[in-house]
Amino acid sequence: MNSYLELSHVTIDFPTPNGPFRALDKVKLSIDKGEFISLIGHSGCGKSTVLNIIAGLHQATEGGVILNGKEVSEPGPDRAVVFQNHSLLPWLTAYQNVELAVKTVFKKNKSKQEMREWIEHNLELVHMSHAMDKRPDELSGGMKQRVGIARALSMEPKVMLMDEPFGALDALTRAHMQDSLMEIQSELNNTVIMITHDVDEAVLLSDRIVMMTNGPSATIGEILKVELERPRDRLLLAEVPEYNHYRAEVVRFLHERYKNPESETEGDKPSIDIGNPSRKEDTPILYAVND
Amino acid sequence: MTTQILKGFSGLPNKLTEPFVKILTGPNKAEHISQMLKTIFIPLIALSIFLLLWSAGASQIKTSLGDVPGPTQVWAQSVQLINEHKEEREKEVAFYERQDKRNAAKLEKNPEAKIKTRPYTGKATYLDQIWTSIFTVATGFIIASLIAIPVGIICGLSPLLYTALNPLIQIFKPVSPLAWLPIVTMIVSAVYISDDPMFDKSYLNSAITVTLCCLWPTIINTTVGVNSIDKDLINVSKVLRLSWFTKVFKIVIPSSIPMMFAGLRVSLGIGWMVLIAAEMLAQNPGLGKFVWDEFQNGSSNSLARIMVAVFTIGLIGFLLDRLMLMLQKAISWDKSAVIR
């Protein structure tokens, strides 16, 4: 039980006019240092709630989160969050956005010069050195998300929490961002928990994929260990049988065992993105989505 | 080439000069000429139709003060008012010259002599009255903003306080300045007692009435602005564990600035309208008192002079609004927003 990050019997009830609504029921998960975990599940299954509880933005009704031997009770920079819609301050430049985080976190233990170097170093990690002085409205969606990641990295978090970080990006940009994230990950070896809707993304990036059952009272349905060698290359992986096996496992879980609760009313529109459209042509289609 | 010339004109409003410059230098002459027709001639045509209708309609109505003045009489009176101002200034200069000479002569006779310098006590001219009005409205507006912005921020941050204050705001917001003024007058004369008063009571009454009417739009807009901050930005401040002060100054205020300025602009517009009414009743020597005095005076020129005041009030109100707009554009971070 001496894991780095421990979720023990996390249960959360939200008050509603019709009595409490149980969103999560006894979520149990141990994460090692340096692990990359993906949370996958249908919309409304409580993935974001899990992330918010780890971040400290929500309080679990029962159970709790222990990070490095300490219980999580409030938000803090040791659990940096990368939000889906970047959430950069629109009136600050990329540099100033990272600066706000660095100044708050390191106000006592870094000199001005060290801070500047640290900000520039983090922006360089995400390949944003060229646009340091641009404001978010002058940046593309992918670039904004890069700055968001730089801001999270600059806090030197124990765990980096990513809430569908690439969900709002187009497929090509998303692939590019995934590659960047893998590159950063191989360098820094952070502990990362990422929410995703994209099966390919989950298999490509993760050490383990945590698949969640449908809500209410959602919990962890299955955990899939992805034992593909790193560094991973998206083009080569398409030929590897294990890769396709992992994809198939996730898709089977999401579309056979826990069907999208909304699919019966919404017809044939899948809520889960089962393939990366940018390379559909060279990927064998394993499962026709026809729920 | 075009841009160079445009830069030379940068001191002037671009909208006016741009079409001319483009006609002189640009390639699409026909297009620019039609643009110029639109931006300059159409408003000019509308203006001349208005002037025609006015002069035709005015001569039809007889009042106890003579005919309703047309554009020419109003123009004549505005020239007259400026001349009166110049004469008054010349008199003032002459007065001080005489006084200085007299004092110098006295000192020459007897170096020990006591010298008296008296200020000039001529009547306030039209231009003086305009300045008084602008100064008074600025006082009222600044006091109102200094109260309304912090109150709005706190109301936006605390739903509890907002629930508490909202009924009061909603009740006081629609109250007419004419209803506030008697109360303000009584309170000021009861509270502001001084042998050597720094401000006239009439000035205080008018400024405070303006304040009371200016508060509400800024409070409401600031509250809404603060209340509608992106929840993710609040989460960012939580993750960073920003202190309350840092949160307010780094996140809350910058993100609500566009709404805040929208409120301030509405407030200043209301303040200027309120001021004229307040000055009439409080006898603060500004444009409101000018209108009232001319009305009481009842000379054959009075109506024309009041109309000069009407145009002045409109023009200054417009300029104040432009000023706020420029400030809003300079301060607001949301450059993509259409502000007009």
For the segment B314-335, what is each residue's pLDDT rounded down to a tens digit? Answer: 999 999 999 998 888 888 777 6
- A212 - beta bridge partners? A220
CA angle B54, B57, B60 (to 5 degrees): 145
The domain in which residue B272 lies consists of 126-331
Mark yes or no for CB contact A85/B333 under 8 Å.
no
- B34 - beta bridge partners? none
C-alpha distances out from residue B283 to A143, A197, B200, B290, Å: 61, 71, 10, 9
At residue B66, the pLDDT reads 78
Residue A23 inside a domain? The answer is no
For the segment A136-182, what is each residue's pLDDT rounded down to a tens digit? Answer: 988 998 899 999 999 999 998 999 999 999 888 888 888 988 998 99
Q: Would you say the pTM of this structure is higher than 0.90? A: no
Decide which of B12 and B122 is more confident. B122
The domain in which residue A85 lies consists of 31-56+68-282
CATH code at B177? 1.10.3720.10
Residue A7 inside a domain? The answer is no
**A179: exposed, middle or buried (C-beta count within 10 Å: 0-12, 13-18, 19+)?**
middle
**Predicted confidence band at B337 (pLDDT cuts at 50, 70, 90)?**
low
At residue B110, the pLDDT reads 81
Mark yes or no for CB contact B232/A87 under 8 Å.
yes
pLDDT, averaged across chain B: 86
Query: Average pLDDT, stretch B163-188?
Result: 91
For the segment A40-54, what is each residue's pLDDT rounded down to a tens digit? Answer: 988 878 888 999 999
At residue A282, the pLDDT reads 43
At residue B117, the pLDDT reads 80
Residues with Cβ within 8 Å of residue B66, at least 6 apart in sequence: B300, B303
Closest of A285, A222, A277 to residue A250, by C-alpha: A222
Cα separation, A160 vs A125, in Å, equals 15
Same domain (yes/no): B29, B173: no
- The residue of chain A with its CA nearest to that of B233 is A87
At residue A284, the pLDDT reads 43
Same domain (yes/no): B296, B170: yes
Cα separation, A88 vs A114, in Å, equals 23
At residue B15, the pLDDT reads 56
Q: Please state whether the peptide bond connecting residue B177 to the residue before it is cis, i.e. omega within 30 degrees of 0.
A: no
Relative to beta strand A62-67, strand A36-40 is: unpaired
Query: Average pLDDT, stretch B152-162?
Result: 93
Query: Average pLDDT, stretch B87-103?
Result: 89
Q: How many domains does chain A have?
A: 1
- Are B270 and B211 a contacting pair, CB within 8 Å? no
CATH code at A157? 3.40.50.300
Decide which of A1 and B73 is more confident. B73
Q: Is B232 on the interface with A (CB under 8 A)?
A: yes
Mark yes or no for CB contact B254/A80 under 8 Å.
no
Residues of B in contact with A75 (CB under 8 A): 235, 238-239, 241
The CA distance from B15 to the nearest CA of chain A, in Å, is 26
Same domain (yes/no): B160, B274: yes
For the segment A112-124, what is each residue's pLDDT rounded down to a tens digit? Answer: 999 999 999 999 8
- Are A238 and A137 a contacting pair, CB within 8 Å? no
Q: Is B237 on the interface with A (CB under 8 A)?
A: no
At residue A269, the pLDDT reads 44
- Are B332 and B257 a contacting pair, CB within 8 Å? yes
Edge-to-edge strands of the sheet including A208-212? A79-82, A159-163, A191-196, A36-40, A208-212, A220-225
**Confidence check: pLDDT of A195 > 90:** yes
Residue B100 inside a domain? The answer is no
Q: What values do phi and psi take at A65, rounded to 5?
A: -120, 130
Q: What is the DSSP letter of A214?
A: P
Name the H helices within chain B.
Answer: 2-8, 14-25, 29-36, 42-58, 71-109, 126-157, 159-172, 177-191, 201-227, 231-239, 244-246, 253-282, 287-297, 302-331
**Predicted confidence band at A289 (pLDDT cuts at 50, 70, 90)?**
very low
**Predicted confidence band at B12 (pLDDT cuts at 50, 70, 90)?**
very low
Query: Average pLDDT, stretch B124-139?
Result: 92
Residue B75 inside a domain? The answer is no
pLDDT, averaged across chain A: 84
Residue A6 inside a domain? The answer is no
At residue B7, the pLDDT reads 44
**Predicted confidence band at A239 (pLDDT cuts at 50, 70, 90)?**
confident
Residues with Cβ within 8 Å of residue A73, at least 6 apart in sequence: A56, A59
Q: C-alpha dihedral over B80, B81, B83, B86, to 10 degrees?
A: 170
**Confidence check: pLDDT of B134 > 90:** yes
The CA distance from B258 to the nearest CA of chain A, in Å, is 11
Residue B21 inside a domain? The answer is yes
Q: How many domains does chain B have?
A: 2
Residues of B in contact with A91 (CB under 8 A): 254-255, 333
Cα separation, B267 vs B260, in Å, equals 10
- The residue of chain A with its CA nearest to that of B332 is A91
At residue A270, the pLDDT reads 46
Same domain (yes/no): B145, B233: yes
CA atoms within 13 A on the CB side of B258: 14
Could you say which of A55, A89, A90 has the minimum Cβ distance to residue B239?
A55
For the segment A5-42, what is each residue's pLDDT rounded down to a tens digit? Answer: 999 889 998 888 888 888 888 889 999 999 999 999 88
- The residue of chain A with its CA nearest to that of B235 is A57
Closest of B81, B122, B91, B119 to residue B287, by C-alpha: B81
- A128 - beta bridge partners? none
Same domain (yes/no): B51, B136: no
ipTM of the complex: 0.81
Closest of A48, A178, A20 to residue B231, by C-alpha: A48
For the segment B258-313, what is each residue's pLDDT rounded down to a tens digit? Answer: 889 989 999 999 999 999 999 998 888 899 999 999 999 888 888 899 999 999 99
Cα separation, B151 vs B157, in Å, equals 10
At residue B51, the pLDDT reads 92
**Confidence check: pLDDT of B11 > 50:** no
Residue A246 inside a domain? The answer is yes
